[in-house]
Amino acid sequence: MIRHRSADTPAAEGDGTAGPRATRLPIRRVTAIMLLAAAVLDLTRCGLVVGTVTQAGAAAGLVSVGLAAAAVSLWTARGCQQGTRWSGWAAFLIGTASGPQAAASGLHSLYAIPDTATAALGVLVAAGVLATVGRTRRPAPPQTYSPDRTVHLPL
């Protein structure tokens, strides 16, 4: 049986795995890792709320918002790893919303560390996405010339 490989899937590399080209871009992996860290910070904040809030209604509202934010971050991280077009914009929006979200909670003593980390991580995500706008593939490899001046491109 002959198996055909799609244009987006490279041949197996040294570790024996193959995947879409977009996952091989380092910025996609870095953005996905930062979004995973944002989800962990949202879940940390949820745990702090459950442990400190005395009113059940307020705690339920804050926990549900935190879980929704973590779910959106995880969904966007998965999109970044798969190379979807919408994931860059979603990561940018998550990054720009992280600073005001952290500031809205007031940076109280108990929440100071996760809120400061969320604000800093949001700035890094937004800056990382903006720095790579328009890069959809790896740069072309350098051309090599033979002694007879013919161009040889690496395969």
| Per-residue model confidence as pLDDT tens digits over 38-76 | 999 888 888 888 888 788 888 888 888 889 989 999 999
Cα torsion 105, 108, 113, 115 to 10°: value is 10
Domain that holds residue 65: 21-133
pLDDT at position 116:
85
Q: Does some domain include residue 12? A: no
User: pLDDT tens digits for 103-118?
Assistant: 776 667 777 888 888 8
Judge contact between 106 and 43, C-beta under 8 A: no
Q: Does some domain include residue 138? A: no
Q: Does some domain include residue 71? A: yes
Q: Does some domain include residue 10? A: no
Q: Does some domain include residue 155? A: no
Q: How far apart are CA 12 and CA 15, in angstroms?
A: 7
Q: Does some domain include residue 16? A: no
Q: How far apart are CA 24 and CA 1, in angstroms?
A: 28
Higher pLDDT, 14 or 51: 51
Among 20-24, 94-98, 145-149, the least confident range: 20-24
Q: Does some domain include residue 94? A: yes
Q: Does some domain include residue 140? A: no
Q: How many domains does the chain divide into?
A: 1
pLDDT at position 59:
82
